[in-house]
């Protein structure tokens, strides 16, 4: 099995529009993932926004490298419904923007059901 860094390298090579070949990047710096001393915590905002989201599995693995550190800082969270990584606006958020409404609706209808059950006439 390939390591995460190897998978990222492969993804960059085949899918990143700013990858210039030979470890270089069109954004006028070495590619953070393909430089010789690539670190586990290497990041590239272009890659994160434009390339990575196309691959769900890789997205999860990519962010899980940071999850402890990033979750501590509150900068990213993993959605408790769909497992996607999202950027919460507040510490209390547990779900991504796509799931939040859905989850709220579900919780509300659960509450309603409970309410009706408890208030059923005997
Ligand atoms: Zn979600």
81 lies in some domain: yes
75 lies in some domain: yes
Query: 118 and 94: one domain?
Result: yes
Query: 48 and 74: one domain?
Result: no
Query: 97 and 119: one domain?
Result: yes
Write out the residue range of the structural domain in which residue 1 sits: 1-52
108 lies in some domain: yes
Ligand 1 centre distance from Cα of residue 24 (Å): 35
12 lies in some domain: yes
111 lies in some domain: yes
Residue range 36-57: mean pLDDT, rounded:
84
Distance from C-alpha of 122 to C-alpha of 120, rounded to nearest angstrom? 6
What six digits make up the tokens of 37? Answer: 């001393």
Kindly tell me if the per-residue pLDDT of 35 is higher than 90. no
Total-model pTM: 0.55
Tell me what pLDDT residue 113 has: 87
* Residue-wise pLDDT tens digits, 54-81: 998 888 888 877 666 655 666 777 788 8
* Residue-wise pLDDT tens digits, 102-112: 999 998 998 88
Query: 21 and 70: one domain?
Result: no
Query: 70 and 110: one domain?
Result: yes
Ligand 1 centre distance from Cα of residue 82 (Å): 4
Query: In terms of pLDDT, which residue wins out, 88 or 21?
Result: 21
59 lies in some domain: no
Q: What is the mean pLDDT of the chain?
A: 84
* Residue-wise pLDDT tens digits, 6-28: 899 999 999 999 999 989 999 88
The SS3 of residue 65 is coil
- Residue environment code for 26-37, b if the CB has 16+ CB neighbours within 10 A, otherwise e: eeeeebbbbeee
Ligand 1 centre distance from Cα of residue 104 (Å): 12
Query: 80 and 38: one domain?
Result: no
């Amino acid at each position: 099995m390939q390591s995460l860094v190897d998978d990222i390298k492969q993804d960059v090579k085949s899918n990143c529009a700013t990858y210039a070949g030979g470890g270089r990047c069109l954004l006028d710096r070495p590619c953070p993932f393909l430089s010789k001393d690539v670190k586990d915590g290497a990041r590239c905002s272009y890659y994160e926004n434009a390339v990575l989201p196309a691959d769900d599995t890789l997205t999860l693995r990519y962010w899980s490298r940071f999850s402890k550190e990033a979750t501590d800082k509150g900068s990213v969270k993993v959605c408790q419904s769909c497992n996607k990584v999202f950027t919460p606006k507040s510490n209390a958020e547990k779900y991504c923007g796509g799931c939040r409404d859905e989850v709220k609706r579900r919780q509300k209808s659960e509450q309603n059901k409970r309410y009706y059950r408890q208030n059923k006439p005997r």
